[in-house]
């Protein structure tokens, strides 16, 4: 799991998320899309990670963003067939690690 500890978005009792990788759907050019599952309660997630880098002269910038969106079981096939599919529930956890260094 990337980033800090956060609370699972499942509908049961509140607990820290404990993710396991289920299936990698896309891994290309700094972008990853996969299905993950909370080990504790079974909640499924559409996981998306992407990186943006600008290593040009004095404005170095890097951002790695990770987003976990809660999936219903019937949405997994939609994510497999359409990598742009966004889960209908809208529950998500987002973690950004952007930084910028100014000067030479």
* 49-67 pLDDT, tens digit each: 988 766 665 556 677 889 9
* 23-59 pLDDT, tens digit each: 999 999 889 999 999 999 999 999 999 887 666 655 5
Residue 8 domain-assigned (yes or no): no
Structural domain span for residue 44: 19-102
Residue 4 domain-assigned (yes or no): no
The answer to pTM > 0.75 is yes
In whole angstroms, what is the distance from residue 43 CA to residue 10 CA? 5
Q: What is the dihedral of CA 76, 25, 50, 8, to 10 degrees?
A: 40
Residue 98 domain-assigned (yes or no): yes
Number of domains in the chain: 1
Distances (CA, A) of 31 to 36, 43, 48, 59: 16, 23, 7, 22
Residue 11 domain-assigned (yes or no): no
Q: Which residues, other chains included, contact 24 with Cβ-Cβ below 8 Å and sequence gap of 6+?
A: 32, 34
């Amino acid at each position: 799991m990337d980033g800090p500890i956060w609370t699972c978005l499942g509908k049961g009792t509140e607990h820290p998320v404990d993710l396991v990788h289920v299936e990698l759907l896309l891994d290309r050019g700094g972008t990853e899309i996969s299905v993950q599952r909370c080990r504790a309660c079974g909640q499924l997630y559409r996981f998306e990670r992407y990186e943006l880098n600008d290593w040009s002269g004095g404005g170095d910038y890097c951002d790695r963003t990770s987003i976990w969106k809660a999936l219903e079981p019937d949405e997994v096939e939609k994510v497999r067939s359409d990598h742009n599919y966004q889960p209908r529930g809208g529950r998500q956890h987002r973690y950004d690690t952007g930084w910028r260094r100014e000067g030479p």
